[in-house]
C-alpha cells in the first residue's frame, strides 16, 4: 500500500498537508495540477573547514602535526564532528601526545595508520589539535638505504578529514614534511 499525504482543511481557509516522507523538492503534483509550497527542503551541504601542517624534530625523529578544525557557520561549534587522521606506514602515533587547544587530552581511537577523534561538548568556534608521530625504522631503511645520500628528499605524508556530526558535510587536508638530509645534519 502506497503512503499518501494527510490533508486537513482548517477553519481559516488554509489546507495543512502532512507528508509520510520528507519532501525533497518544493513542488507537489496532484489533481492534474502542480502546486508550489512555501517549504524549501534542506539540500544545502555544510562546509566545515580543516587545515594541517607538520614540523619535524630531528633530535627525537618525531613530527608534530597541527590540525585546525572549523565548524560549519551554521553549527557554531564542533560537537559531534569527527576527525579522521591517516598517515603513511613509515610513522606511528606517539601515545600521550594529543593536545586540544594546548591542553593534554585522551588519546584518540587508534585505527590502522591513523586515528579517529569525536568532539564532545566544546566551546564555539575553531579548535586546534596537535599530536606527534614517530618515524619508523622502515622510513630510514626505505628512504635512506642508498648510502645515506645527502641529496635525498624523503617525506612523511599525512591526511585529515573532518565530518559534521549530522553527516551533511566534510572537508579534507593533506600535509607532508620533508625529512631529506635527516642523518647528515
- Are 63 and 54 a contacting pair, CB within 8 Å? yes
Q: Is 85 found in the same domain as 20?
A: no
CA–CA separation, 116 and 142 (whole Å)? 28
Res 147 pLDDT > 60: no
Report the distance separating Cα 171 and Cα 164, nearest Å.
9
Kindly tell me if the per-residue pLDDT of 160 is higher than 60.
Answer: yes
Provide the whole-model pTM. 0.71
Q: Is the pLDDT of residue 13 over 90?
A: no
Q: Look-up: residue for cell 520528507?
A: 22
Q: Name the pLDDT band for 156 (thresholds 50, 70, 90).
A: confident
13 with 55, same domain: the answer is no
Grouping H, G, I as helix, E, B as strand and the rest as coil, residue 1 is: coil
Asked if pLDDT for residue 1 goes beyond 90, the answer is no
pLDDT computed for residue 140 by the predictor: 73
Give the angle subtended at the CA of 91 by the CAs of 90 and 94, to the nearest 5°: 160
Query: What is the total count of domains within the chain?
Result: 2
- 69 pLDDT above the threshold of 80: yes
Percentage of the chain lying above the pLDDT 90 cut: 54
Query: Is 1 among the domain residues?
Result: no
Domain holding 76: CATH number?
A: 2.60.40.740
Amino acid at each position: 500500500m502506497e503512503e499518501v499525504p494527510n490533508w486537513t482543511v482548517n477553519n481559516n481557509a488554509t489546507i495543512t498537508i502532512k507528508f509520510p516522507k520528507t519532501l525533497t523538492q518544493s513542488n507537489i503534483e496532484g489533481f492534474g495540477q502542480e502546486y508550489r509550497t512555501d517549504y524549501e527542503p534542506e539540500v544545502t551541504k555544510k562546509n566545515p573547514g580543516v587545515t594541517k601542517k607538520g614540523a619535524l624534530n630531528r633530535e627525537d625523529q618525531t613530527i608534530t602535526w597541527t590540525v585546525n578544525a572549523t565548524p560549519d557557520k551554521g553549527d557554531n561549534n564542533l560537537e559531534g564532528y569527527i576527525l579522521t587522521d591517516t598517515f603513511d606506514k613509515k610513522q606511528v602515533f606517539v601515545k600521550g601526545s594529543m593536545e586540544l587547544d594546548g591542553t593534554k587530552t585522551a588519546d584518540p581511537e587508534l585505527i590502522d595508520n591513523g586515528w579517529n577523534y569525536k568532539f564532545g561538548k566544546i566551546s564555539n568556534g575553531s579548535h586546534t589539535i596537535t599530536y606527534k608521530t614517530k618515524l619508523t625504522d622502515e622510513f630510514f631503511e626505505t628512504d635512506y638505504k642508498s648510502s645515506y645520500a645527502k641529496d635525498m628528499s624523503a617525506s612523511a605524508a599525512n591526511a585529515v578529514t573532518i565530518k559534521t556530526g549530522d553527516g551533511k558535510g566534510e572537508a579534507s587536508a593533506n600535509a607532508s614534511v620533508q625529512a631529506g638530509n635527516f642523518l647528515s645534519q
